[in-house]
């Protein structure tokens, strides 16, 4: 609300209206100088009704009492109503009701004096029956204060509700970020842990196998960094949109940074959100050997976009800023020729056109995910049934994350060599996903006897339990689906989920 000096425009307008109304009422009842003199102070006092509600009521009540005692005027004082409402609206309940109690005898006396003057009587003529109607009339200040209190309570409840909605939104966003971080970090760290542990065990007898494991662990680390950068870009999407795309468009088609031709494996690239109006997606290939190279806009390669493993497929060459198509650039070498010479490297990020905010991974990438699980030592297989249909993005991504987390848990708790089956079924109006493992071979008898596997106890050398199942449940609940998980009587663990698929959202 605009202010003039220290007063709000609305309060100035209200004081002016009250002054005019009271002057009009006074004029209709006669030209008493005392009556006119007592009209101005209450109206002016209303300018402080928000900050000094009690003081304003005291001024207004005093003027009302003096006017009733000193003049024959019975003109109504609109300022009284406003002052009493302000007491209820801006003061705490205890103070407001104390003020209403104090106003009761004051306005009872005013009602009595006004009644006696109308009848031509004096205070000496007051009888007991005169006090009953006078007391009833004097209750009106209480109702005005009550109205102000009800308005105050309603506004407080609305503000509290808004705060609760804001807190719930913050908590939901934190849970969403926590789920994404868990899915990214847990999967990659578990993979790196397994690969480095395997390299340590085989270093003495098979250095080449150990070196291969370390190379895969390095690639998993690069991809984890790429995923983390992607999440950070989601959190800072507005800044990225403003600062990144215009500079890249100005660089020209397929521009590489200055430097000598790069050679060797490059650092993981980072997906960058394209600027509005651009037809292509952008991927950075990162540094490579002695030089740096950036893949051009809209690469059209088909590298493997999954997590935690090598991808021998080739990435796409840059075709210029704003070019058509969306480049995968994941797992394979991407190149871009520019003023600094050609740069090459293994781009590990995927430019995710159309999947922004959901990570871009879904049922289509499950085959690669299972293949990489095999590379980590799991005897994994993928089974599908039904006719695949286009899934809503949230459902598609949830299925992928369920399988990813289940495979990560199998590696953590069942260990290398465990057999695990991933089953995806497409049905009319729903998609089902099931991940079943048989548990560690040496523990199947004990698991069968216990009837369950303790999900909080990792296999020797594995990382401790976390929040994977909680994250699964939250994702499935957000999609309106059903999730069941638990140990199998014959040993091992089962995760099953059914997610509804609406034709309108597919």
Same domain, 118 and 240: no
Same domain, 188 and 337: yes
Same domain, 374 and 483: yes
Same domain, 366 and 328: no
Same domain, 226 and 290: yes
Residue 61's pLDDT is what?
Answer: 87
Residue 114 lies in a domain: yes
Residue 145 lies in a domain: no
Q: Count the alpha carbons within 13 Å of 385 in the hemisphere toward its beta carbon.
A: 9
Same domain, 56 and 107: yes
CB within 8 Å of 435: residues ≥ 6 apart? 402, 403, 406, 407, 410, 420, 421, 422, 423, 494, 495
Residue 469 lies in a domain: yes
Asked if 346 contacts 266 with a C-beta cutoff of 8 angstroms, the reply is yes
Rounded to whole angstroms, what are the CA distances from 317 to 321, 404, 454, 496? 12, 30, 49, 41
DSSP-based three-state secondary structure for 177: helix
Domain end (from 357, 373, 397): 357
Site of tokens 């020797």: 460
Q: Count the alpha carbons within 13 Å of 32 in the hemisphere toward its beta carbon.
A: 17
Site of tokens 């425009």: 9
Residue 297's pLDDT is what?
Answer: 33
Where in the sequence is the domain holding 87, given as residue range(s)? 3-138
Distance of CA 311 to the CA centre of its chain: 34
Residue 342's pLDDT is what?
Answer: 35
Same domain, 299 and 179: yes
Residue 36's pLDDT is what?
Answer: 72
Residue 123's pLDDT is what?
Answer: 65
Angle at 193 between CA 187 and CA 198, to 5 degrees: 130
Distance of CA 294 to the CA centre of its chain: 33
**Residues comprising the chain, all counted:** 506
Angle at 134 between CA 128 and CA 135, to 5 degrees: 95
Site of tokens 């215009």: 246
Question: What token pair was written down for 127?
Answer: 């009888």
Q: Count the alpha carbons within 13 Å of 20 in the hemisphere toward its beta carbon.
A: 6
Site of tokens 């190379």: 215
Residue 421 lies in a domain: yes
Same domain, 129 and 201: no
Same domain, 126 and 272: no
Q: What is the pTM of this model?
A: 0.43
Which residues in the chain show pLDDT less than 70? Answer: 1-7, 29-35, 70-76, 117-135, 234-360, 441-467, 503-506
The widest CA-to-CA distance across the chain, in whole angstroms, is: 121
Same domain, 73 and 131: yes
The residue among 495, 234, 505 whose CA lies nearest residue 396 is: 505
Residue 144 lies in a domain: no
Domain end (from 323, 357, 391): 357
Domain end (from 357, 387, 405): 357
Distance between CA 382 and CA 366 in Å, rounded? Answer: 8
Distance between CA 452 and CA 123 in Å, rounded? Answer: 91
Same domain, 304 and 199: yes
Distance between CA 190 and CA 220 in Å, rounded? Answer: 10
CB within 8 Å of 115: residues ≥ 6 apart? 130, 133, 134
Beta strand 379-385 pairing with 419-427: parallel
Sign of CA dihedral 297, 253, 243, 288: positive
The residue among 437, 367, 353, 438 whose CA lies nearest residue 399 is: 367
DSSP-based three-state secondary structure for 276: coil
Residue 17 lies in a domain: yes
Asked if 57 contacts 84 with a C-beta cutoff of 8 angstroms, the reply is yes
Strand order in the sheet with 379-385: 379-385, 419-427, 430-437, 493-500, 482-487
Element (H, E) at 142: helix 140-202
User: Looking at residue 421, which CATH number applies to its domain?
Assistant: 3.30.565.10
Question: What token pair was written down for 89?
Answer: 């609206």
Residue 260 lies in a domain: yes
Element (H, E) at 447: helix 444-450
Domain count of the chain? 3
CB within 8 Å of 341: residues ≥ 6 apart? 256, 259, 260, 261, 291
Element (H, E) at 149: helix 140-202
Same domain, 54 and 120: yes
Residue 153 lies in a domain: no
Residue 258's pLDDT is what?
Answer: 34
Distance between CA 452 and CA 486 in Å, rounded? Answer: 7
Distance between CA 212 and CA 309 in Å, rounded? Answer: 11
Distance of CA 224 to the CA centre of its chain: 23
């Amino acid at each position: 609300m605009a202010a003039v000096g220290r007063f709000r425009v609305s309060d100035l307008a209200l004081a002016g209206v009250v002054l005019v109304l009271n002057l009009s009422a006074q004029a209709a009842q006669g030209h008493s100088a005392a009556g006119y003199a007592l009209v101005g102070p209450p109206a002016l006092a209303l300018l402080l009704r928000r900050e000094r509600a009690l003081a304003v009521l005291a001024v207004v009540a005093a003027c009302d009492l003096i006017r009733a005692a000193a003049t024959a005027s019975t003109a109504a004082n609109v300022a009284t109503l406003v002052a009493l409402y302000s007491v209820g609206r801006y003061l705490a309940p205890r103070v407001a009701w104390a003020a209403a109690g104090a106003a009761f005898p004051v306005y009872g006396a005013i009602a009595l004096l006004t009644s006696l003057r109308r009848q031509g009587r004096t205070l000496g003529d007051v009888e007991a029956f005169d006090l009953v109607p006078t007391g009833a009339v004097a209750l009106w200040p209480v109702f005005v204060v009550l109205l102000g209190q009800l308005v105050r309570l309603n506004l407080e409840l609305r503000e509290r509700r808004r705060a609760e909605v804001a807190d719930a939104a913050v908590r939901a966003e934190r849970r969403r970020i926590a789920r994404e971080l868990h899915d990214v970090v847990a999967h990659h760290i578990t993979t790196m842990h397994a690969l480095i542990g395997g390299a340590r065990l085989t270093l003495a007898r098979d250095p080449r196998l150990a070196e291969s494991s370390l190379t895969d662990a390095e690639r998993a680390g690069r991809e984890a960094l790429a995923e983390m950068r992607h999440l950070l870009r989601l959190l800072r999407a507005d800044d990225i949109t403003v600062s990144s795309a215009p500079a890249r468009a100005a660089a020209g088609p397929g521009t590489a940074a200055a430097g000598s031709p790069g050679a060797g494996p490059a650092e993981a690239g980072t997906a960058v959100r394209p600027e509005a109006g651009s037809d292509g997606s952008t991927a950075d290939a990162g540094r490579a050997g002695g030089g740096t190279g950036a893949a051009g806009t809209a690469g059209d390669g088909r590298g493997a976009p999954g997590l935690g493993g090598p991808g021998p497929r080739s990435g796409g060459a840059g075709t210029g800023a704003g070019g058509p198509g969306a480049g995968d650039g994941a797992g394979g070498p991407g190149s871009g020729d520019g003023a600094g010479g050609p740069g090459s490297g293994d781009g590990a990020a995927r430019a995710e056109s159309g999947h922004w905010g959901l990570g871009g991974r879904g049922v289509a990438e499950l085959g690669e995910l299972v293949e990489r699980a095999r590379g980590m030592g799991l005897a994994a297989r993928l089974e599908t049934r039904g006719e695949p249909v286009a899934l809503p993005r949230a459902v598609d991504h949830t299925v992928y994350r369920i399988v990813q987390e289940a495979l990560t848990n199998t590696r953590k708790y069942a260990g290398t060599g465990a057999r695990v089956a991933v089953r995806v079924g497409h049905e009319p109006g729903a998609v089902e996903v099931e991940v079943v493992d048989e548990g560690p071979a040496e523990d199947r008898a004990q698991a069968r006897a216990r009837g369950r596997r303790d999900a909080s106890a990792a296999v020797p050398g594995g990382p401790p339990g976390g929040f994977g199942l909680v994250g699964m449940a939250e994702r499935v609940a957000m999609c309106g689906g059903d999730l069941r998980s638990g140990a199998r009587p014959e040993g091992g663990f089962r995760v099953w989920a059914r997610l509804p698929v609406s034709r309108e959202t597919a």
